[in-house]
Amino acid sequence: MRKVTLSFSIFALILACSLDTSEIPTLEVGQDFADSNVRVISLDSFTVAVSTMKFDSIITSGADRILVGQYIDSFFGEVKASSFMELSPLVYDLPSDAELDSVGLVLGYDRYFYSDTTQISNLNIHLLTDDLRSDDDIFYNTSKIPFDSIPLATYTYVPEPQDEDSLFIKLPFEFGEALFEGIRDDDINDVEELRETFQGITIKPGDADNSSIIGFSSDATRSYLRFFYRIPQEFDDDEETLDFVIQIDPIEPKLFNNIQNDLPNSVLDTLIDQEINLPSPESNNLSFIQAGTGYASRIQFPTIKQLFDIPGQGTILSATLRLKPPPSTYNDNLPIRDSLTIVLVNQNNRITEQLFFGGEPVFGRINEELGEFNELIYEIPIGVYVDRELNETNLVDDAFIVYPPEFGQSVDRVILEGEEGNDFKATLVLTYAIYDEEE
């Protein structure tokens, strides 16, 4: 098979055309081609096959964000995030005469939110009834730990992630007293003894909430379980605090987020296995991406080897994929991010590698100059991927997928138009130089 090479060092004189090259004039480009006749053409007629796939699960442990909330999405249905965490003190030491005053949970906003923060939300704090451990020391968006069905506390609020620093949720005195006295009286001296009394908590949204999903920091200085206590003195009591925090442990994660969506009677219901692809022509010419729940857009170029039908030797100067989210699918409450991550997958949709060029990862970026009427279009430079596909000798059903950064600790979503749109369709724009053309 004739090999097509990829070059980004050659300057390009671009003429728009399709695969029919009969009307393209011959251009003399100069010494780079050793006095050969060169034609530089821009091709945009290759088929771009766009589909949706869904990961069976994605890793959410090891994240530095607590995600809690629920909202109803017109595409993904009920989207819900709950957080599971183990909290423990850095030191197990209290004065023997310390007296507990109160206990509460502090959650520091990390400025992340998704959907409508003007609506009332609920936080239900439940005690775990089992240790936060897993067989492989990894937790996923589908993982769960048993918990007491009766909330320890419920907090109703209107989120202000951009304007406020934190929330304070008061917890029952009796709950705090048992833990506090256990440490003070030397009955609890380490994490193993603590787990016999306190395995941790889960924070869940209200069952009927339709508001937003909020991000809180897991940093020990921002979110913690705080015990307020005093030391009796002859005149004024000293006021002190003891904090239980989420401790960083690379071996045994202490935090994960369960993130799910429920959308009955939808075309997305067919994605019950990671190996299934939902072509965009079968889903109203749309492809669906959502972080946290595991949806991603899958891209292939089934007609790319038609490039070999052009006579002569050729060099790919550039290859750019253009994808458009319909303007009606995003707004201030449901924003889209300005970049997309690109990873390669095999025929079973197992990730094989991230796409790199020149030692740097390749990202899709929004090019606002391409859109009309404030429309946004993603551009993805995929010359290195196209070159690989052209020179692949085996018939392999691989592809690449796109999804937002922070895929395991957000619920960002993007809806993309597929390959059969009337006003816009997913397009591969390829700039190609032909030289040593056969007469």
pLDDT, tens only, 132-145: 988 888 999 999 99
pLDDT value at position 18? 36
List the one residue out of 394, 390, 287 whose CA is nearest residue 52: 287
What secondary structure letter does DSSP report for 209? -
What's the rounded Cα separation, in Å, for the pair 181 and 204?
Answer: 28
CB 297, CB 342: distance < 8 Å: no
pLDDT value at position 33? 44
Pairing of strands 99-115, 166-171: antiparallel
Amino acid at 303: T
What's the rounded Cα separation, in Å, for the pair 91 and 86?
Answer: 15
CB 279, CB 48: distance < 8 Å: no
Instruction: Kindly report the backbone phi and psi dihedral angles of residue 412, in degrees, each rounded to the nearest multiple of 5, phi listed first.
Output: -55, 140
List the one residue out of 423, 320, 319, 417 whose CA is nearest residue 367: 320
- Three-state DSSP class for residue 53: strand
Place of tokens 């589908």: 142
Phi-psi region of 406 (alpha: psi -120 to 50; beta: other; left: phi over 0): left
pLDDT value at position 308? 84
What's the rounded Cα separation, in Å, for the pair 398 and 352?
Answer: 10
First to last CA, the chain: 20
pLDDT value at position 234? 57
What's the rounded Cα separation, in Å, for the pair 298 and 305?
Answer: 19
- Residues 6+ away with beta carbon under 8 Å from 152: 125, 126, 127, 171, 172, 175, 201
What's the rounded Cα separation, in Å, for the pair 393 and 201?
Answer: 53
List the one residue out of 283, 277, 319, 274 whose CA is nearest residue 298: 277
What secondary structure letter does DSSP report for 59? B
What's the rounded Cα separation, in Å, for the pair 26 and 245?
Answer: 70
Instruction: Kindly report the backbone phi and psi dihedral angles of residue 379, in degrees, each rounded to the nearest multiple of 5, phi listed first.
Output: -120, 130
Q: Which residue ranges in the chain fall short of pLDDT 50?
A: 1-35
- Residues 6+ away with beta carbon under 8 Å from 306: 19, 46
CA 20, 24, 26, 30 dihedral sign is negative
What's the rounded Cα separation, in Å, for the pair 438 and 26?
Answer: 12
What's the rounded Cα separation, in Å, for the pair 191 and 133?
Answer: 13
